[in-house]
Amino acid sequence: MSAPEVISLGCRLNIAESERMKGMLADAGDVVVVNSCAVTSEAVRQTRQAIRKARAARPDARLIVTGCAADIERDQLAAMPEVDGLIANASKLDPRSWNVPLPEAPPPPTRTRAFIAVQNGCDHACTFCVIPQGRGKSRSMTIAEVLREVEHHLDLGAKEAVLTGVDVTSWGHDLPDTPPLGALVGAVLNEFPNLPRLRMSSLDGIEIDEALFELFASEKRLMPHLHLSLQHGHDLILKRMKRRHSRADAVDLVARIKQRRPEIAIGADLIAGFPTESDEHHAANLSIIDELDIVHGHIFPYSPRPGTPAARMPQVDRRIVKARAAELRERVAERRAAWLTTLVGENLEVLAERDGTGYAPSYARVDLPEGTPAGRIVSITPHAIEGGLLR
């Protein structure tokens, strides 16, 4: 009988949840789970593609779909002949939903890094986003729960913990005394002095508290990699998105943190072709890449999601949306290439992955010498760049 398989699409939170499902379903028999994403129309298309591919590869397995698309696109996915059943996103980590016993501990990590979902859901109402429909309201793990999970992964040999969630900077808002995210990050670093590396997933810059800012500025074990949920570079579009920050807020945050820690690498999510976006607005989107020196860019061509306010706004022609997304990707690629050049000849501490590459603290990806053991932090001095990797 074939072993259970979990196919993960979308965000790091889905990756973390997929790892837990793998352990929970270890004895579930011939089953394939597609842990879906619905953040864009393209993500839903990729989910449907993954379902068809999984069915072709495992024709006799039970094929179950969960994740955000299982809630948001439930009827459409249920109608697919390849699908045997759906499990609501909120129930996918409950063993009762799968008719399996409760695991005694989280499963061993299948990656060299431990993705720890410290928060789920979202209380905000960005006009383009359907994720609250699939994830529900924001809810947080307690500090004690997070520490137990970090300890477990450390015992299993993980060298880096990644704190992730749907809206990580809202962590603690639903807990007694509403502790800020900096309190959680500080607790992890204080409790585990033997944890070599702690990394944060995408953050809402306007909610970075002073304690977290200080840790980013001064704590070497907190990786110098700040990925912002930025979304756009023009204030009017940010207002129409119902974001809570301005362009100036983002510029000020990055300037302050780079003054304290110049080596920090900036990443950002940016949406191209949001409804009503003019050439002027697009130019501002391009220019913020340069102003913030964004070297890790996630570019999303806007696609209308049913039931969202943005879907009812005047839409930008799809050909223009795609062209603008391509321009944004090209601009990020230029900044990234220039940044990688500055790392050639530098000594880097790289965490080796199983595919023969690894990640520097700044999240620069490095092609490692053959035979480098996975899960080990090695000192590397790259001498060239090839295919976007330091070599």
**Number of domain units in the chain:** 3
CA angle 49, 54, 58 (to 5 degrees): 155
Last-in-domain residue among 297, 322, 339: 339
Q: 263: domain CATH number?
A: 3.80.30.20
Q: 54: domain CATH number?
A: 3.40.50.12160
Phi-psi region of 242 (alpha: psi -120 to 50; beta: other; left: phi over 0): left
Confirm whether 252 is domain-assigned.
Answer: yes
139 and 270: one domain? yes
Confirm whether 107 is domain-assigned.
Answer: no
For residue 199, give the DSSP letter.
E
126 and 45: one domain? no
Summarize pLDDT for 226-284 with one digit per residue, the tens.
999 999 999 999 999 999 999 999 999 999 999 999 999 999 999 999 999 999 999 99
327 and 365: one domain? no
329 and 353: one domain? no
365 and 324: one domain? no
370 and 334: one domain? no
Confirm whether 104 is domain-assigned.
Answer: no
Rounded Cα–Cα distance for residues 39 and 302 (Å): 10
205 and 298: one domain? yes
Give the domain extent around 92: 5-98
* 27 residue type, one letter: D
Residue pair 288/247 in contact by the 8 Å Cβ criterion:
yes
Other beta carbons within 10 angstroms of residue 349's beta carbon come to: 14
186 and 254: one domain? yes
Q: What is the pLDDT of residue 41?
A: 81
Q: Whole-number mean pLDDT of the chain?
A: 92
Edge-to-edge strand order for the sheet containing 113-117?
A: 113-117, 160-164, 197-200
Q: What is the pLDDT of residue 103?
A: 57
Last-in-domain residue among 98, 127, 154: 98
Summarize pLDDT for 361-372 with one digit per residue, the tens.
999 999 999 999
308 and 246: one domain? yes
Q: What is the pLDDT of residue 110?
A: 47
- Is residue 104 predicted with pLDDT exceeding 80? no
Residues in the chain, overall count: 391
Q: What is the pLDDT of residue 331?
A: 98
Structure-derived torsion over alpha carbons of residues 5, 11, 12, 16, reported in degrees to the nearest 10? -40
72 and 200: one domain? no
Query: CB-based burial of residue 49 (10 Å sphere; 0-12 exposed, 13-18 middle, 19+ buried)?
Result: exposed
238 and 385: one domain? no
272 and 331: one domain? yes
What's the predicted TM-score (pTM) here? 0.84
Confirm whether 106 is domain-assigned.
Answer: no
Mean pLDDT of 373-385: 94
